[in-house]
A and B are shown apart, each in its own frame.
Chain A
Amino acid sequence: MSITEILFWFLSALALVGALMVVLSRNPVHSVLWLVATFFAISGHYILMNAQFLAIVNIIVYAGAIMVLFLFVIMLMNLNSEAEPRKSWMMQLAGVLAGGCFMMVLVSLVRQTAELGGKTALVKEGNIGLIKQLGMKLFSEYTVPFEISSVLFLSAMVGAVVIGKKD
């Protein structure tokens, strides 16, 4: 087992455990911290796939900015495990059933898909995630979607002003 493979399994396990803990923790602050850990694990995967730019952006934007904001919000609102509403057992059962079915579909999907058979994750190879390639793609083939997404962000900003500004 090479070092990259060990890293791959470690990061995958971390990401899965982290994501599970986000959902399972009773304390919201813990949830956020686990989410940060998950983001870090995913950034590790990006690096393994030779996509350093994405990895850095993921850490700066998601793990850094957004999650810190989340923490602030949670602390300001003083949420803790007691504030969590209790769901009736019927709702919980329904949730478990629906989620379980969905998981079964996805697991069987991965097992059944022929084109995935015998393939392994691509590590240390590929150059699509490098900043130069990304830039080339973004400003040639994907210019139109790139520009259009500015409309999306603009509308989100307008929304933030409309909702957030004091009357």
Chain B
Amino acid sequence: MNAIIVSAVFGVLMMFASFLVNNKNVYRYLAIIGLSVLLLANILETYAIWSIKFDSFLQLSFERFGLFFNSIAIAATLFYVLLSGKDIVRVGNYSAEYFVLIFFILCGVSLITSYNSLLMLFLGIEIISIPLYILTGSDKKNLKSNEAALKYFLMGAFSTGLMLMGIALSYGAVGNFGLEGRGVVAFGGSMRVSFLEVAGLLLLFISMSFKASAAPFHFWTPDVYEGAPSVFTSFMATIVKATVFIGMIKLLEARTGIFGPTWQIILPLMIVLTLAIGNITAVFQQSVKRMLAYSSIAQAGFMLFALWSANDMGREGILLYSVAYTLATVGIFAVLVKMKDYTFDGFNGLAAKQPLVAASVAVFVLSLAGIPLTAGFFAKYFMLASAIKSGAGVWLLVVAVVFAAVSVYYYFRLIQAMYFKEGEAEMFEQPTNSFKGMLAIFAVLLIVLGIAPSLLFNYLYF
């Protein structure tokens, strides 16, 4: 449990830094150091070299899959801070506290990747959610940010209520908080699952779908993502969302078959609905930020395939998907934060003024659209392949790829604006060389993973 403890400790350290040090740059460097140490600690645990151990009475179990995802999430956060650290510091007056909250969120992430009891899942989800409510409202002078925070908080609290009720029902049926559950047992002569357990898990699933913004529980997403300060939107739309999917996968794998044959109808319906709502609404957006909010719903639709297929390929796929989607989205947001105008037209002519930035954004967009030679292609590919491996109907795949083609429409508008249209893409400040360098590294990573995705999985197994 290195990641859980070290991230909490660094969170507290940052709190001390906030009143002992009065230099905003120091916070940023401290956070970078902290994240590097955290990453190192987690890698040490992954390879069983060194780890802090407490007896959690089987409520936490540390497996390769979860630990590896921790590394991905921590590394992504590190990249995120390296890229947008200056913008995080600038959001409001509480620069150090934002890093505190980010460290606490990582603590929640490492809980969700390693829970073995529903109690821990609940704690993890809450530790993620509460800092996010605050980060959403951190731009206190902005009315939209306030509204988004309140909306997110109210909706989130409601979904937490559902989750608690679900856990309570499951507890009632099983008698403990264990992840395994009871499964199919004899009830008065017939073999079936307990209705209480099914209802409980369904509520739990609904609540987690809410956090992952899968339709029809996505209504909060566009407003919250748009209202929140862009730096924090990029964090919660990527790392946090991917984590929730890992949590869902763990839950559904432990209790496979509990929903019975209806599951074959419910989940495909959710996938189609999520893809349709996310993609079609994104087409009509004029603001890039709002388009990215809807596109994050659409991408969640693809990630749901991993839940449906529930095989090794789906697990590998969700890891690749997290990496591809996170790198691309964080990169685009980092550029977006610097733009004066958030509409598509605001990007007009960026390629002429900032060739490297525009080229990187083009790679990110291509990756999100799933064009070959970028990691995004293999991310989508794994999702489709794992689904078909588990016997999905071809109609589902055809629907999915048609919506992927729809997504090309709005993603490419960004490329059109940057490269083919005349305009003065105005930025708040000229991007520094280190910023451009980081963007280029992101783009190169995406391309490398787009040629050889197996590089990533080598770390999963060896």
Contact = CB atoms under 8 A, between A and B. Distances in A.
Chains A, B in direct contact (C-beta < 8 Å) = yes
Interface of A: 105-106, 109, 112-116, 140-145, 148-149, 151-152, 154-156, 158-159, 161-163, 165, 167
B101 A145 contact: no
Nearest to A160: B134
Contacts of A115: 173, 187, 194, 196
Given A140-B57, A144-B57, A165-B94, 13 more contacts: A109-B195, A109-B196, A113-B173, A115-B187, A148-B120, A152-B127, A154-B11, A155-B100, A159-B101, A159-B131, A162-B134, A163-B137, A163-B140
A119 to B, nearest CB: 11
Q: When A and B form their complex, which 7 residue pairs have the shortest distance between CB atoms, in order from nearest?
A: A159-B134, A144-B56, A114-B187, A155-B104, A113-B195, A162-B94, A141-B57
The SS class assigned to the A binding surface is helix
30 contacts: A106-B199, A109-B196, A114-B194, A116-B196, A142-B57, A144-B54, A144-B55, A144-B56, A144-B60, A145-B120, A149-B123, A151-B104, A151-B107, A151-B127, A152-B126, A154-B104, A155-B104, A155-B131, A158-B15, A158-B97, A158-B100, A158-B101, A158-B104, A158-B134, A159-B101, A162-B97, A162-B134, A162-B138, A163-B134, A167-B140
Interface string B73-106: 0000000000000000000111001001100100
Interface of B: 4, 8, 11-12, 15, 54-57, 59-60, 92-94, 97, 100-101, 104, 107-108, 111, 119-120, 123, 126-127, 130-131, 133-134, 137-138, 140, 149, 169, 173, 187-188, 194-196, 199
A162 B123 CA distance: 22
Contacts of A142: 57, 119
Nearest to A147: B54
A155 B15 CA distance: 10
A113 B197 CA distance: 10
A162 B145 CA distance: 14
Nearest to A114: B187
Nearest to A155: B104
Nearest to B126: A152
A159 B59 contact: no
B216 to A, nearest CB: 11
A161 to B, nearest CB: 7
